[in-house]
Amino acid sequence: MDRQHGKATGKVYLIGAGPGAADLITVRGARLLGEAQVVLHDALVSPEMLAWCPQAELVEVGKRCGQRSTAQLFINRQIVDLATKHERVVRLKGGDPMLFGRADEELQALEAAGIEYEVVPGITAALAAASAIGRPLTKRGVSRSVAFATQAKAADAVDVEADVKADTIIYYMGRDQAANIATQLIARGKPASTPAWVVEAATTPRQRSHQFTLGQMAAGEAARWMDPVQPSLLMIGEALGSRATEYVEAERAA
């Protein structure tokens, strides 16, 4: 087969690396990494995660907020080109490929080129962060809906109209707009007393978390606490509050 001239193509695997810890990738994802000839990976993928594929050529194609990043169109072209040269190509994405990972653009490029692909899901950061702080995203009688959201980069472009309808709201990449997001949620009816967490670098050795109220977040306290370098999540909702009192009361009632 002459892969250099496009007479045959390999298969591309879009794999979710999970939230950070190397042993939180799926068994299937780890196996496919171990079989790949080349791995295109995000900037946030750790060296420990890449230890699953010592045999592969590594290509960093990640994006970091405020830093020089690889253009998505170029990434698409790289994936297609590498699939004409290798049988197994992995596109390794942090979290889950299908959530805020621009997977649709990469899949469109592969489909247009007639290249076979498979998507391997991963644990998204919101689920890992909920486990890290020991707070559920849903809770019987309190929260039956969850919204995963991002905001536009411009500080004056915050729009929470759709988000506020959910019982629990998780904002990815919301660090720089934490105060604005909280202010807008309060303006649209969320109580200022609503529990609001910030979780940074969930499941990694750098993990930190802190609980605020939505009012404190609106006042800028969360923004002052956050590390400007670490990936972070804003987590807002009554389900994220303390459960100690209700547990004691339930035991007494029993």
Residues annotated as catalytic are 42, 63
Nearest CA to 150 out of 183, 178, 115 is that of 178
- d(C-alpha 250, C-alpha 71), whole Å: 54
Task: Name the 3-class secondary structure at 66.
Answer: coil
Q: Taking a C-beta distance cutoff of 8 angstroms, is the pair 115, 9 a contact?
A: yes
Tokens (6 digits) for 6: 């496009």
Q: Taking a C-beta distance cutoff of 8 angstroms, is the pair 16, 26 a contact?
A: yes
Distance of CA 142 to the CA centre of its chain: 25
| Locus of tokens 């990449």 | 173
- d(C-alpha 80, C-alpha 216), whole Å: 47
Task: Name the 3-class secondary structure at 67.
Answer: coil
Contacts of 197 (CB under 8 A, 6+ apart): 129, 133, 135, 209, 210, 211, 212, 233, 234, 235, 236, 240
- d(C-alpha 20, C-alpha 17), whole Å: 7
